Structure formats: C-alpha cells, structure tokens
C-alpha cells in the first residue's frame, strides 16, 4: 500500500512539474536580445529617434487627456518630465506600470535608443 501511494505521489509531482515548467512563452527578441546591425545607436536625438519611438508605441494612448489621462507625451517638456517613469514602464520593471498597456515590450533597439538619449542628457535636438 505504501509503494502504491509513493508511486502516485511521485507521478503527480512529475506531471505537475512538466506542466508548470514546460509552458513558458516569450518572444524571440526578449529571449535573445542581441542587436542587429539595423539598430542605429550612433546619433540618437529627440527629433530623429525618440519622437518616432513615441509615435509608434505611446501616442495612440498618450496624446489626449481622453485617452492618456494625466500622462500626455505630445511635447518635449512632457516627455522629459515623465522620462524616469517612461524608462521603468517601457522596460516593464516590477514597480512600474508596464507599457504599452496590455502588450509586450517595445523593440529592444527602441529601449536602447531611449536609454542612450536619457544618458546623454535628454537634449531637445
């Protein structure tokens, strides 16, 4: 009787282990974050790169009070004012609201370009 109980317990543990460990999904870019040669990190400017990142990923929701609430990202001043929160949100860090909302991370190249712009002083150029 004890062998049968041991066998059932071990079988149950094995099955649940496979179910919880084997079903992990992520996108390839998140798993293998190598930059391709198409990611330009040499001349990251607000007008040249950051505005495009915002247009592609943020302004669908953060361009009017009706859609973006109190966080608007339509001007340089607004973006700079929210830069620390934007950084945490686009990286989807634990203590920040993950952005884009209900979506995966933005492209790794865009996050790297954002980091470069912030690190270089967030110039309006």
What pLDDT does residue 55 have? 95
Residue by residue, DSSP assigns 97-119 as --SSTTS-PPPHHHHHHHHHHHH
Range of the domain at 113: 2-119
Task: Report whether pLDDT(32) > 70.
Answer: no
Each residue's pLDDT tens digit, 35-80: 456 899 988 999 999 999 999 999 989 988 777 668 899 999 999 9
Considering just the CA atoms, what is the radius of gyration of the chain in Å?
22
With respect to residue 23, please indicate whether it lies within any of the assigned structural domains.
yes
Q: Is residue 125 part of a domain?
A: no
Q: How many domains does the chain have?
A: 1
Q: Of 77, 122, 68, which is closest to residue 97 (Cα–Cα)? A: 68
Cα–Cα distance, 86 to 71 (Å, whole number): 10
Does any domain span residue 60? Answer: yes
Within a domain: 101: yes
């Amino acid at each position: 009787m004890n062998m049968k109980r041991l066998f059932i317990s071990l079988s149950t543990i094995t099955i649940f282990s496979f179910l919880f460990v084997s079903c992990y999904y992520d996108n390839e870019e998140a798993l293998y974050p190598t930059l391709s040669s198409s990611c330009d990190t040499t001349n990251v400017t607000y007008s040249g790169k950051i505005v495009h990142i915002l247009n592609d990923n943020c302004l669908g929701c953060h361009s009017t009070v009706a859609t973006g609430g109190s966080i608007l990202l339509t001007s340089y001043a607004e973006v700079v004012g929210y830069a620390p929160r934007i950084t945490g949100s686009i990286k989807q860090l634990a203590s920040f609201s993950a952005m884009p909302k209900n979506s995966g991370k933005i492209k790794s190249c865009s996050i790297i370009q954002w980091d470069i712009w912030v690190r270089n002083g967030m110039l309006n150029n």
